[in-house]
A and B are shown apart, each in its own frame.
Chain A
Amino acid sequence: MSEVRLQIDGQEVAAPEGATVLEAAQGAGIPIPTLCHHEKLEPFGSCRLCTVEVERGGRKQHVVSCVYPVAEGLTVRTRTPEIERIRRVILELYLAHAPEAPRLKALAEEYGADKDRFGKESSFCIHCGLCVRYCAEVKKKHAVGFINRGTKKEIAFVPDIAARECWKCKECFPLCPTSWLQAAYVLVEGILFPREEQQA
């Protein structure tokens, strides 16, 4: 596989063709924050926290580095005032859902995000999909999935499958960037109170 040369934060970086900007940066030891990335899983691009600025042919744009492929001659900046602002607002929105999540609090400190900026709606879930994707892609059990859409979107265990598979696995809990208690709760709820119908 051929190598692609690009510049990240002024540093010359070589990455295999087809790699993402995030992978290239991580390979070069340049940190980019992310909540929904997992090396065993397909890129998902839901948390948007890994947003970076790329410049190509004199044109700048903001892209999500975990789904953006590297290209020859690309210039990437991972920390500009605008990027910091974007990440701060994303964090503030997440903190409205999970104000006490340790990982979010640490990032909030780094980016100066105000956890009280937006009204609280503590769902604890930021829809990163790590649990859903881990269960589907690595464990191939499909015991947990998303239901509903928009503001009502949430994760839910499929009771029949969860009752069979989850107690002995639980590998998705530590993946959760906010609170695995939420996952545990939904699991218990799914097994003890199987809801055949989910609100449409």
Chain B
Amino acid sequence: MDIARVDQIIDRYGADESYLIQVLLDIQTENNWLPHEALERVAERLRVPLSRILHIATFYKAFSTVPKGRHRIHVCMGTACHVRGAQRVLDAVQEATGIKPGETDLELKFSLETVNCLGCCALGPVMEIDGKTYGKMTPAETAEALRNHD
């Protein structure tokens, strides 16, 4: 992400520290993660200490200070999904992508996370890809769903 783009995002709101989280969210949305140079630029423009930006960027789950893939996979490991075979779904995802929960593959295609409930237990086992819910998954369907993303 180039610095000019970071500046554009800041200019949308104005260079005031009260817009910090909104600016970070926009960078996160566009870029999938918050590169250090971008944070330095934000610190400089909004006049917020970098240490505080790092505090905030590591506090909220919505932000990532490490590169994330283009597609974010969330596999539900909540109780209902667990008894309905979430582990098999997770295994299928790990098999297909080659990454473990919390990791991102080298092509920056997928990032995998486990979550504890997506709030639709009747559809268990559930996974989400880029916010779209896939319910009643089998390992085969899981692999199929992942193949449709590039």
Contacts and interface: CB of A to CB of B under 8 A. Distances in A.
Interface of A: 132, 135-136, 142-149, 156, 158, 160-161, 196-200
A143 B65 contact: no
Contact of B64 (A142, A149, A200): A200
Contacts of B52: 142, 145
Given A148-B58, A149-B58, A200 B51 contact: no
Sorting the interface of chain B by its residue count into under 10, 10 to 19, 20 to 34 or 35 or more gives 10 to 19
Interface in B15-68: 36, 40, 49-52, 54-55, 58-59, 61, 63-66
B51 A149 contact: no
B58 A198 contact: yes
Contact of B54 (A135, A136, A149, A158): A158
Interface of B is mostly: helix
29 contacts: A132-B51, A136-B49, A142-B49, A144-B51, A145-B49, A145-B51, A145-B52, A145-B54, A145-B55, A146-B55, A147-B54, A148-B59, A149-B59, A158-B50, A158-B51, A158-B54, A160-B40, A160-B50, A161-B50, A161-B51, A196-B65, A197-B36, A197-B65, A197-B66, A198-B54, A199-B66, A200-B58, A200-B61, A200-B64
Contact of A143 (B51, B61, B64, B66): B51
B115 to A, nearest CB: 14
Nearest to A136: B49
B14 to A, nearest CB: 22
Most buried by B among A132, A199, A200: A200
A144 to B, nearest CB: 6
Given A158-B51, A200-B61, 8 more contacts: A135-B51, A145-B52, A145-B55, A149-B59, A158-B50, A161-B51, A197-B65, A200-B58
